[in-house]
Amino acid sequence: MNSTLLANLNPPQLQAVTLPHQSALILAGAGSGKTRVLTTRIAYLVSHDGVPANRILAVTFTNKAAKEMLTRLTSMLPIHPQGLWIGTFHGLCNRLLRTHYYEANLPKTFQILDSSDQLSAIKRLMKLMNVDDEKYPPRDVANFINRHKEQGQRAAEADTFSVHDKQKAAIFAEYDLQCQREGVVDFAELMLRCYELLSRNAELREHYQARFQHILVDEFQDTNKLQYQWLKLLAGTKNALFAVGDDDQSIYAFRGADVGNMRELTRDFHVETVIKLEQNYRSHGNILDAANALIQNNRNRMGKNLWTAADGGEPIRVYEAPNDVEEAGYIVGEIQQLHREGMDLKDIALLYRSNAQSRVLEHALVSAGLAYRVHGGLRFFDRLEIKHTLAYLRLMENTDDDNALLRIINFPTRGIGARSIEQLQEVAIQQGTTLWDAAARAGGKVTAFVALIESMRNAARSLSLPETIAHVLQHSGLRALYENETGAKRAEAQERLANLEELGNAAVLFVHENEDDSLTSFLTHASLESGEHQAGDQDDALHLMTVHAAKGLEFHAVFISGLEEGLFPHQNSQREASGVDEERRLMYVAITRARQRLYLSFAQSRMLHGKVNYGVASCFLEELPEELLHWITPKRTAFAPTFTPQNNPFAAYVSPVSRPVPTPPRNQRAMASSTQRTVSGTEWRIGQSVTHAKFGDGVIVNLESSGADARVQVKFRTAGVKWLALEYAKLTAV
């Protein structure tokens, strides 16, 4: 055995890693070595106990975590752990169902419905069943179905306490039949179907139970009921379930995660000793004290202490900015300082609660010439199939977008040849119009293309963002194009298809994390996230991400920005009883990512989605012990913005709104922003497409100042990002 394998473990860690073949729960706070223990245990089982790698199943929370764990393991072991299964719950269920599709009563090529596909399927069905979608919003029906599936229940077992529930249960039953007919499964179904397969089919169950003697689960606090039942089935009576988790880091209750699973695990698996790891190896004392103090405000904790041998270290710096632009400026200045002092950019993370917040930060970073990388599901905007899909969306938003039109007029091929396209271009030049105008007057297949885009635009008016994307993929023929690929190109097509699915997921996440989930806002986001400013994998670059995406990671320095009421804690959380507690756990996750330096900041006013919001400091700041903090700006006892609508430089541009920002009904939202004017008397708004005589087409990505000095920042498609004085810029709205 590799002799250094156990050398760097403390006694309880060592105990956990070397436990005999029995189930265990490692309940421990952030940075106490849970993931390290889990990985080391796999290596120990293989190299010390001689357990064949194919007897081990490891479940992690993201594909990225799975990949990292495999890399770590490979470095600890003399040979590659052949046959080890490691992945996410959904990934592993998919793998099992693909192998046993016949037994699971699925077609070999079953497709996976993402949440927007699922919604469309439900809508379609409800129409057939003549169910009033005002009385039964399809989204509620989808939630009803998923909630039950996540509890392991089918329509027959669904709640039918009210007439309402009875109707939903009836749709649920029909929906499952429809999915079965069409050979598709939704996300929750992947899990449930796999669970049912194993529970019904004794032969298969016994086969896998005999195979996976060791089942290890990281981030156990975020498993839902069904996932836990699935684990129980695989574990049977003989196998060992080794779960590590932290109840204080449960941040997916909104997706049905159930911390109660930890208590059940100790009972169901007769766990005699819950191993607690209490030494934190990640953070300096002040950071850890702050995290401990914060989380104490939560109710229903399992309770554990976390200490560190490290000294207090630097105080936590707190900065109050008059507005978000200045907040970003402060952060960039500090990052430059750390960098000058010798810290690598890759050891620094800049975190925010919602994706929309990254925009201002990104601009400040670009202006300062700092390399950064945005993490999360949206890193793939440069891939061909994504660009094509976005081109459809862009053209729908703005028919004058010639680049978008050229990209897709004959993609997928619809018989419009190069010659016809050239002719269109000639006509457009001659008549001084856009290609779209020229196309509208052309005949034949070009007319059909124009009609297609028009019909997509109409459809989008009543669809949410993920639905709009699903609609485009369906009606453009893009999905079918890749689905129908056979032969040598099939593997590549499958990958492209997966990316398209991923775009749907990105949209769902975007809707979840952003107040303004209009198509425009998504497109602006997409263009900002596209490769241009993204650092390469090898470069020394700063990490930008949402707090959710930072789970499990660590950095020397961490900046948590936008600590304002309504933003973090997020305003949605105030609606639910447990909401603020979950936000507090999220804040706990954020704080505990930091090793040496922690910076907290907030702004009195913030431009979000083209509007100025006036916020007050996050309640979480009040919960941190004063002696740990160093206020860069003087702390004010009663928080009152010094900037008012009257003296704020943004104010001439936009009418201030107070939180919470009212959200238009969903059916008006999808395309609302294309007509929205937020600046009285002017047309300019963030996300707006513009044309400049010299720089060409672009999108407004920022607005600044007022009166004669008004400036807009435009991201041009080819000329890069530029600030332009409105008075002189030859800018036309498109």
Q: Which residues bind ligand ATP (CB under 6 A)?
A: 8-10, 13, 28, 30-36, 246, 249, 281-282, 552, 554, 592
Active site residue 238: no
CA angle 297, 303, 309 (to 5 degrees): 95
Residue (217 or 731) nearer to Mg ion, CB: 217
Least distance from ligand ATP to the Cβ atom of residue 17, Å: 10
Q: If DSSP codes are grouped into helix, strand and coil, which group holds residue 546? A: strand
**Phi, psi at 27, each rounded to 5°:** -105, 115
- Catalytic residue status for 127: no
Q: Choose the catalytic residue: 114, 117, 189, 219.
A: 219
Residues 12, 313, 552, 641: which binds Mg ion (CB under 5 A)? 552
Stretch of 179-187, 306-314, 519-527, 548-556 contacting Mg ion, by CB under 5 A: 548-556
CA-based Rg of the chain, rounded to a whole angstrom?
Answer: 27
CB of 253 to ligand ATP, least distance (A): 17
The DSSP secondary structure of 224-265, one letter per residue, reads BHHHHHHHHHHHTTTSEEEEEE-GGG---GGGTB-THHHHHH
Per the CB < 8 A criterion, the answer to whether 570 and 353 are in contact is yes
Among residues 13, 34, 279, 595, the one annotated as catalytic is 34
Residue positions counted in the chain: 734
Query: How far is residue 359's CA from residue 203's CA, in Å, rounded to a whole number?
Result: 54
142-169 burial, b if ≥16 CB within 10 A, otherwise e?
bebbbebbbbbbebeebeeeeeeeebbb
Residue 218 falls in the annotated catalytic set = yes
CB of residue 153 to ligand ATP, shortest distance in Å:
31
Q: Is 393 exposed, middle or buried (0-12, 13-18, 19+ CB in 10 A)?
A: buried
**Shortest approach of ligand ATP to residue 550 CB, angstroms?**
9
Which one of the listed residues 149, 394, 584, 593 is annotated catalytic? 593
Task: Verify binding: residue 641, Mg ion, rule CB under 5 A.
Answer: no
Per the residue annotation, which of 60, 118, 223, 249 is the catalytic one?
249
List b or e across 576-607, with b for residues whose CB sees 16 or more CB atoms inside 10 angstroms: eeebbbbbbbbbbbbbbbbbbbbbbbbbbbbb
Q: Does 398 bind Mg ion (CB under 5 A)?
A: no
35 binds Mg ion (CB under 5 A): yes
Smaller CB separation from ligand ATP, 290 or 408: 290
Indicate the residue among 36 and 394 with the shorter CB distance to ligand ATP.
36
562 binds Mg ion (CB under 5 A): no
Number of amino acids touching Mg ion (CB under 5 A): 3
Q: Does 698 interact with Mg ion (rule: CB under 5 A)?
A: no
Provide, rounded to whole angstroms, the least separation between the CB of residue 552 and Mg ion. 4
Select the binding partner of residue 704 from ligand ATP, Mg ion, none (C-beta < 5 to 8 A, by kind). Answer: none
Does position 702 interact with Mg ion (CB under 5 A)? The reply is no
Is the CB of 10 or the CB of 403 nearer to ligand ATP? 10
Cβ nearer to ligand ATP, comparing 282 with 548 = 282
Backbone torsion region of residue 250, taken as left when φ is above 0, otherwise alpha when ψ lies between -120 and 50, otherwise beta: beta
Q: Which is nearer to Mg ion, 35 or 94 (CB)?
A: 35
Q: From 447, 352, 345, 454, select the one nearest 396 (Cα to Cα).
A: 454
Could you tell me the sign of the dihedral formed by the alpha carbons of 144, 147, 148, 149, in that order?
Answer: positive
Judged by CB under 5 A, the stretch of 59-67, 178-186, 544-552, 624-632 that binds Mg ion is 544-552
Of the residues 218, 258, 564, 582, only one is catalytic, namely 218
Q: Least distance (Å) from ligand ATP to the CB of residue 265?
A: 18
Q: 35 or 167: whose CB is closer to ligand ATP?
A: 35
- In angstroms, the Cα distances linking 284 to 392, 592, 593 are 50, 10, 11
Describe the strand order of the beta sheet including 696-704 as a list of residue ranges.
720-725, 711-716, 696-704, 689-692, 731-733
CB of 637 to ligand ATP, least distance (A): 34
Q: Residue 402 to residues 84, 410, 427, 532: CA-CA distances in angstroms? A: 50, 13, 13, 21
Give min distance, CB of 26 to ligand ATP, in A. Answer: 9
Q: Is there a catalytic annotation at residue 221?
A: no
DSSP string, 511-538: HHH-S---HHHHHHHHHHHSGGGBPPTT
Strand partners, 691: 697, 732
Task: Compute the distance between CA of residue 584 and CA of residue 31 in angstroms, rounded to an integer.
Answer: 17
Query: Is 593 among the residues known to form the active site?
Result: yes
Catalytic annotation on 249? yes
User: Which does residue 149 bind out of Mg ion, ligand ATP, none, counting CB within 5 to 8 angstroms by kind?
Assistant: none
For ligand ATP, which is the closer residue by CB, 10 or 178?
Answer: 10
Q: Applying CB under 5 A, which residues contact Mg ion?
A: 34-35, 552
Q: Which residue numbers are catalytic?
A: 34-35, 218-219, 249, 593
